[in-house]
C-alpha cells in the first residue's frame, strides 16, 4: 500500500501512583479503549501508544514495586487484549510495554500485532539512560534486537524507543533493514530534551528517507514530579517536515495519512544509501 493512515495516542496517567501496578494497568488499558475505537472508526491502519503506555513513568524512583508492572509478551493480559483489538479492527497495533522475559529479567519493549491479530515480534529498547530522574538501568536490561523491521499489512515499520532517538545509528540500521515508518514512543519532560524533540527526529527522517512517528505522554506524575510531559506527538516526512502534530497538554488521538511513495522518491533524489561509506566508519564500532 502507498497511502497509510497512522494514529498516535498520547495520554496522561489516570490513577494515583500508590495503587498496585495491576490496578494502574487495568485503568490505563480501559482509558485507551475509546481512542482505539475512535481510531478504528476513522480508518486508522497503524496505531501506536506512548512508552510503557499503561503505567506511570516510574523510573524517577528505584522502587522494586514496579517490577510487578512487567508482563509477558505476547502472553500477558495487555498484549492479549491488543491482539484481539488488532484483529477486530484490521489494524496494526504497536504496544509499548514493560516486559518480563524470565524472573528478574525486564525489558522496555514494543510488541507489534498485524492487522489480522498475528503477533509479528517485538523490539527491546537498546539505549538505557541512567541520569538523575531517569534511573532506567534499575528497571530495564539493554536490548539487542538486531533492528527488526515488521512487514505489516500496511507497510514496513520499525520501532525505536524514547532515549534511543538520540543515537543516529539505530535509525540508519532500521532504514537499511527496510523500515518505511519508524515509531518512537517516548516519555519526555520539558527541559533540555524539548528543544531536541523537534530537531533530532525530523533530521533522522530526512537522513534516512523515511517517516518518523514520535509519541510523548502528557501531564505530571506524583510523587516524583520530575516535570511536565509535554505531548507534541507528531509525524515527520522523509524531507524532515512535520506534517501533523498533537497538543502539548491534552489526551489526544493524532490521525494523519502518509504517502509511502515519497520514501522511494526522496531516496532516489538524495541517494544517501548509495553514497554512504561504511568501510570508513570502523571508529563507530571499535568499542571505545
Closest CA to 205 of 233, 181, 173: 181
Check: CB of residue 221 under 8 Å from CB of residue 15.
no
CA distance 206 to 196: 15
Choice among 48, 59, 79, 162 that is catalytic: 162
Q: Grid coordinates representing 187?
A: 516519555
- Using DSSP's 3-state secondary structure scheme, residue 120 falls into strand
Choice among 5, 59, 99, 125 that is catalytic: 125
144 is catalytic: no
CA distance 71 to 56: 15
Residues in a beta bridge with 150: 157
Closest CA to 212 of 60, 91, 48, 75: 48
In the prediction, which pLDDT does 192 show?
A: 82
252 is catalytic: no
Q: Which residues of 131-148 are buried (b: 16+ CB within 10 A; e: fewer)?
A: eeebbbebbbbebebebb
- Using DSSP's 3-state secondary structure scheme, residue 17 falls into coil
Q: C-alpha angle 25/90/202, rounded to 5°?
A: 75
Per-residue pLDDT of the chain (288 residues; tens, 9 = 90+): 699 999 999 999 999 999 999 999 999 999 999 999 999 999 999 999 999 999 999 999 999 999 999 999 999 999 999 999 999 999 999 999 999 999 999 999 999 999 999 999 999 999 999 998 899 999 999 999 999 999 999 999 999 999 999 999 999 999 999 999 999 999 999 988 899 999 999 999 999 999 999 999 999 999 999 999 999 999 999 999 999 999 999 999 999 999 999 999 999 999 999 999 999 999 999 987
CA distance 50 to 68: 19
CA distance 242 to 238: 10
Is the entire prediction scored with pTM above 0.95? yes
- Using DSSP's 3-state secondary structure scheme, residue 98 falls into strand
162 is catalytic: yes
Helix %, strand %, coil % of the chain (to 5): 30, 30, 40
Choice among 5, 51, 99, 228 that is catalytic: 51
In the prediction, which pLDDT does 1 show?
A: 67
In a 13 Å sphere around the CA of 118, the CA atoms on its Cβ side amount to 7
CA distance 56 to 51: 10
Amino acid at each position: 500500500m502507498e497511502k497509510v493512515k497512522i494514529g498516535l495516542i498520547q495520554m496522561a496517567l489516570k490513577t494515583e501512583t500508590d495503587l498496585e501496578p495491576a490496578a494502574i494497568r487495568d485503568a490505563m488499558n480501559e482509558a485507551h479503549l475509546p481512542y482505539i475505537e475512535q481510531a478504528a472508526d476513522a480508518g486508522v491502519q497503524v496505531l501506536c501508544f506512548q512508552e510503557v503506555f499503561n503505567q506511570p513513568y516510574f523510573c524517577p524512583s528505584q522502587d522494586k514495586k514496579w517490577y510487578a508492572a512487567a508482563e509477558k509478551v505476547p502472553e500477558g493480559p495487555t498484549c492479549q487484549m491488543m491482539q484481539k483489538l488488532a484483529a477486530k479492527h484490521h489494524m496494526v497495533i504497536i504496544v509499548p510495554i514493560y516486559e518480563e522475559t524470565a524472573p528478574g529479567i525486564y525489558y522496555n519493549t514494543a510488541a507489534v500485532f498485524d492487522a489480522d491479530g498475528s503477533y509479528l515480534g517485538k523490539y527491546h529498547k537498546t539505549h538505557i539512560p541512567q541520569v538523575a530522574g531517569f534511573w532506567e538501568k534499575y528497571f530495564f536490561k539493554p536490548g539487542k534486537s538486531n533492528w527488526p523491521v515488521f512487514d505489516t499489512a500496511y507497510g514496513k515499520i520499525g520501532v525505536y524507543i524514547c532515549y534511543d532517538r538520540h543515537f543516529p545509528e539505530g535509525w540508519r540500521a532500521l532504514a537499511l533493514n527496510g523500515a518505511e515508518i519508524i515509531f518512537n514512543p517516548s516519555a519526555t519532560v520539558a527541559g533540555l530534551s524539548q528543544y531536541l524533540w523537534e530537531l533530532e527526529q525530523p533530521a533522522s527522517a530526512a537522513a534516512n528517507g523515511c517517516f518518523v512517528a514520535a509519541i510523548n505522554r502528557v501531564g505530571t506524575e506524583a510523587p516524583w514530579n520530575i516535570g511536565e510531559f509535554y505531548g507534541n506527538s507528531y509525524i515527520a516526512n522523509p524531507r524532515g517536515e512535520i506534517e501533523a502534530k498533537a497538543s502539548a497538554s491534552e489526551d489526544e488521538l493524532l490521525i494523519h495519512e502518509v504517502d509511502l511513495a515519497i520514501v522511494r522518491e526522496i531516496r532516489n533524489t538524495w541517494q544517501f544509501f548509495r553514497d554512504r561509506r561504511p568501510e570508513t566508519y570502523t571508529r563507530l564500532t571499535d568499542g571505545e
